[in-house]
């Protein structure tokens, strides 16, 4: 976890204090359930809640001797509870505590990330509607293709992040499971009721079959989902970075008063936030492969996954939380230049309308091959002139082009390309 790329609410989930608090709740709820079953005295269960406490430094001190974190935790709690502490952890194994705690933490982290996505979706919809009919050039392979609107670009991003939200909701549900099943997951020394009871108290579902550990395919899917979200962040960030290039300059990150772009060149206004987002996305995706490799544990359990999850649990969620918040800020304050968009769209002498002419010629009886040849022949002249020539005028002067001047002029109408924007917006945002 790097403080520079961290926000306090997400960080708080992963502190030692937060982790040990969840451990205590798991143990105390489990003891309550055992008391209901008559396995332990109800007075002992009450004493754990009443007297139970822990100190992180003391747990660390004990662990230096025991080399076992759960035992160190239980020993420290017992120092506060007294003789009744012997009824804690009855029939349980360490993974019951560790895995259930991780499920709680990932569920809490998911809730923050879902809220982050909701905030981003609000901004994307607002900016999309603002620029719903702002014409700009669509590019394929980085080359001018046909007109779109800037609102459509943002609507696409909104639809993508809405899918990501649905994926994360599903991943949260999948990973939020509780296992209190004892050694090798057979419930030999603890009743399944305890697991159901603890799950209910912690807002988790019951793991159908645990092999002493919760199966890591759940976690693999969770972190894979975070990786997909990170890739969507990079996609939108890359779009902004390209649009901010000096030769394009159709949009740019907000440049605040007093901000400096370069230590050497005072004129610079660099896309530093979206470049940063590209890097953060790489980091989040980097945690996906270790999560996948955690699935294949030995037999009923080993701990090869443990060290991995101590890294990727906090780091992936903290980094993605920061990245989503940063992207929301970028898109909220993004400076858009409609005039530059229109200027760039018209830069190449009307080449963006070539398909309409091609189709009109075929409708007029020209073979597709001949129509393509005619349009391309004139289009390449415009291309070689860097837009100084006009495709429309060249086509009018071409004796092989059988369309009238009026028919040709109709094919260069910008509004034609935008006639279905409302339909697309309705698909993305619903009826107005």
Q: Which residues are catalytic?
A: 141, 262
Query: Can you say whether the dihedral through the CA atoms of 260, 263, 269, 272 is positive or negative?
Result: negative
Residue 431: φ, ψ to 5°: -65, 145
User: In angstroms, rounded to a whole number, what is the distance separating the alpha carbons of residues 130 and 135?
Assistant: 12
CA-based angle 126:131:132, to the nearest 5? 90
| Residue 7 near residue 322, CB atoms below 8 Å | yes
| Residue 287 near residue 219, CB atoms below 8 Å | no
Q: Scanning the structure block, which residue is given the tokens 């780091």? A: 315
Question: 149 has which bridge partners?
Answer: 135
Q: How far is the CA of 262 from the CAs of 239, 249, 265, 268, 272, in angstroms?
A: 22, 18, 5, 6, 11
Question: Among 323, 251, 252, 255, which residue's Cα sits nearest to residue 285?
Answer: 323
- What six digits make up the tokens of 410? 């109709």
- Compute the residue count for the chain: 432
Question: Among 67, 242, 265, which residue's Cα sits nearest to residue 153?
Answer: 242
Q: Scanning the structure block, which residue is given the tokens 């094919």? A: 411
- DSSP string computed for 302-353: -SHHHHHHHHHHHHHHHHHHHHHHHHHHHHHH-EE-HHHHHHHHTTTTTGGG
Instruction: Give the DSSP letter of residue 92.
Output: -
């Amino acid at each position: 976890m790097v403080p520079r790329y961290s926000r306090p609410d997400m960080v708080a989930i992963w502190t030692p204090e937060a982790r040990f608090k969840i451990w205590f709740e798991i143990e105390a709820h489990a003891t309550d359930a055992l008391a209901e079953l008559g396995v332990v005295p109800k007075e002992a269960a009450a004493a754990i809640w009443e007297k139970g406490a822990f100190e992180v430094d003391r747990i660390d001190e004990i662990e230096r001797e025991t080399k076992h974190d759960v035992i160190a935790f239980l020993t420290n709690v017992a120092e506060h509870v007294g003789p009744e502490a012997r009824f804690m952890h009855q029939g349980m194994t360490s993974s019951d505590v560790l895995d259930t705690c991780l499920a709680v933490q990932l569920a809490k982290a998911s809730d923050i990330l879902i809220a982050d996505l909701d905030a981003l979706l609000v901004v994307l919809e607002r900016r999309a509607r603002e620029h719903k009919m702002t014409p700009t050039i669509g590019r394929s392979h980085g080359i001018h293709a046909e007109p779109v609107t800037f609102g459509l670009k943002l609507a696409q991003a909104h639809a993508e992040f809405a899918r990501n939200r649905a994926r994360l909701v599903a991943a949260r549900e999948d990973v939020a499971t509780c296992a209190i099943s004892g050694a090798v997951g057979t419930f030999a020394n603890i009743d399944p009721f305890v697991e159901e009871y603890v799950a209910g108290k912690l807002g988790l579902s019951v793991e159908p079959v645990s092999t002493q550990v919760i199966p890591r395919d759940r976690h693999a899917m969770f972190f894979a989902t975070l990786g997909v979200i990170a890739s969507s962040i990079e996609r939108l960030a890359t779009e902004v970075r390209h649009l901010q290039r000096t030769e394009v300059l159709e949009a740019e990150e907000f440049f605040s008063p007093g901000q400096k772009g370069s230590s050497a060149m005072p004129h610079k206004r660099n896309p530093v936030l979206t470049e940063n987002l590209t890097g953060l996305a790489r980091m989040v995706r980097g945690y996906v492969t270790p999560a996948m490799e955690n699935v294949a544990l030995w037999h009923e359990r080993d701990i090869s996954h443990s060290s991995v999850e101590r890294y990727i649990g906090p780091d992936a969620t903290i980094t993605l939380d920061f990245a989503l918040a940063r992207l929301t800020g970028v898109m909220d304050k993004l400076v858009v230049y409609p005039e530059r968009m229109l200027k760039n769209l018209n830069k190449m002498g009307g080449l963006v309308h070539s398909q309409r002419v091609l189709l009109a010629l075929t409708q007029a009886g020209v073979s597709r091959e001949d129509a393509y040849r005619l349009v391309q022949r004139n289009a390449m002249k415009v291309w070689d002139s860097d837009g100084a020539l006009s495709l429309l005028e060249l086509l009018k002067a071409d004796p092989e082009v059988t369309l009238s001047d009026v028919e040709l002029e109709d094919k260069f109408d910008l509004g034609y390309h935008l006639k279905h924007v409302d339909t697309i917006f309705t698909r993305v945002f619903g009826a107005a």
